[in-house]
Amino acid sequence: MAIAEEVFVSRLLGKTVVDPRGKKIGKLADVLVNEEELPRVVGFLLREAGGRTVLVDWTEVHVWIRQYISLRHVREELTLLPPEGFYLYLARDLLDKQIVDLNGRKVVRINDLKLAAIQGALRLIAVDIGLRGLLRRLGLRRFVHWWERRVRDLPDTLIRWQDVERIENEASRVKLNVPYQRLAKLHPADLADIIEELNNRDRTVVLQALETEVAAEAFQEIEPEVQSAILEHLNGERASDLLETMPADEAAEILSELPDEKAEELLNLMEAEQANEVRELLEYEEGTAGRLMTREFLAFGREMTVDEAIAKLRAARPDPDVAYYLYVIDERGVLCGVVSLRDLVISSPSTRLGEIMNPEVIKVRDTDDQAKVAEVITKYDLLAVPVVDEAGILVGVVIINDLVDAVFLEKIRRKITRRFSGG
């Protein structure tokens, strides 16, 4: 078979297909590849004169030139591919579809696909996302030549196939063996940016396929309005799985943006203990410390020794955000002191926490608004502040990072909105 060194798929689509005698038998409607690392062309979709389509083995291609593709055998003797095979259709499954540029950490649209001869086989090596690829697809090569002669060159904007993560198309029979394994290696913030760029269908496909922990970490980085849209479209079981892996305060914030019926549906699908924590937070008014606080905090009895507290810390392996301060409570759960990590480390192992705690604890009420919380944290230069109810019982902790997201970033969003709306 005569194989061109390189060819774009757009140059093959629509080509007239002839048998060895030069008789026209149809047109090339699509190119099929397999699932190798560099997908190999295994066949093409032949659309015959009457509209019927068949899958022809690529080994039947003898030669192609600008005007047509010549086959080795007459129509009746062609080697055909089984229609139930697992093929990726380049035109149907990839052209005009969104894919992820892993190096650029962004979502792009495929305008054309580049094939190249490698060790006797034609393989998919790159996707073209540039203007040149689009014009080529539209059959405007003459315009490209005119533009390049009079203005400037239009380079091919190519991305190597190895640097691409495709979004599974439900119509495609070729499914990823390990879905989105390369996406899963990205930083959660980068993955969140990519998910935000996708349409609702593709967002759902990706989050449904990623491992739960990976999906949840990325989901927490997504903008609130996008989170709500995703939960509206995501499978209920999957949505509840994501919410269960998140801190209760973040899950409550997301659910508060959903219609009550949808929020209750997801809560009912969550584990009872976690759902109850979220429900308790949702009982607080929006904008209060109670709604903002996390219930994942460290509390110790005053009779506990330093050695016992350190052992408990090691066993709990708390997140850094909640390990800034150790709060001391009495038998009723009333906040009665705080111990810094420094004091814990330098004290004798047998010392009781009640002996080294600072009883003058800076705290806020669960009903205080976010402005009051921000004032306290700023005034006393705190990394976190404990939250108590009317009886003085420790019910949560507000972390400075959550406060920044809730108060300061919201102010920035409002300013940007007013600026672009002319307000």
Residues 103-119: pLDDT tens digits?
888 888 888 999 999 98
Structure confidence at residue 138 as a pLDDT band (50, 70, 90): low
Give the Å distances, CA to CA, from 116 to 92, 98, 136: 20, 22, 17
Cα–Cα dist 350/353, whole Å = 9
CATH number of 185-283: 1.25.60.10
Decide if pLDDT at 127 tops 50: yes
Confidence of residue 147 (pLDDT cuts 50, 70, 90): low
> Per-residue pLDDT for 408 more than 90?
no
Return the closest-CA partner of residue 6 out of 114, 109, 80. 114
Q: What's the CATH number of domain 299-405, 3.40.630.40, 3.10.580.10, 3.10.290.10, 3.10.180.10? A: 3.10.580.10
Q: 177 or 169: which carries more pLDDT confidence?
A: 169
User: What is the rounded distance in angstroms from the CA atom of residue 266 to the CA atom of residue 409?
Assistant: 27
Q: 6-163, what's its fold?
A: SH3 type barrels. (2.30.30)
What is the rounded distance in angstroms from the CA atom of residue 84 to the CA atom of residue 77? 20
Burial class (CB in 10 A: 0-12, 13-18, 19+), 62: middle
Q: If you average pLDDT over every residue of the chain, what do you get? A: 84
**Per-residue confidence at 139, pLDDT binned at 50, 70, 90?**
low
Q: How does residue 409 score in pLDDT terms, banded at 50, 70 and 90?
A: low
pLDDT tens by residue, 214-248: 998 899 888 888 888 888 888 889 999 889 888 88
Backbone angles phi, psi at 303, to 5 degrees: -85, -10
For the chain, percent of residues with pLDDT exceeding 70? 85
Q: For position 322, what pLDDT does the model report?
A: 67
Q: Mind listing the pLDDT tens digit for each residue in 24-60?
A: 999 999 999 998 889 999 999 999 988 899 999 999 9
Mean pLDDT computed over 169-184: 57
- Is residue 211 over pLDDT 60? yes
> Predicted confidence band at 297 (pLDDT cuts at 50, 70, 90)?
confident
Closest C-alpha among 8, 63, 3, 64 to residue 31: 8
pTM listed for this prediction: 0.64
Among residues of the chain, what percentage have pLDDT more than 90? 40
Whose structure tokens read 């599974």? 168
Place 180 in a pLDDT band, splitting at 50, 70 and 90.
Answer: confident
- Can you give the residue ranges of every domain in the chain? 6-163, 185-283, 299-405
pLDDT value at residue 250: 83
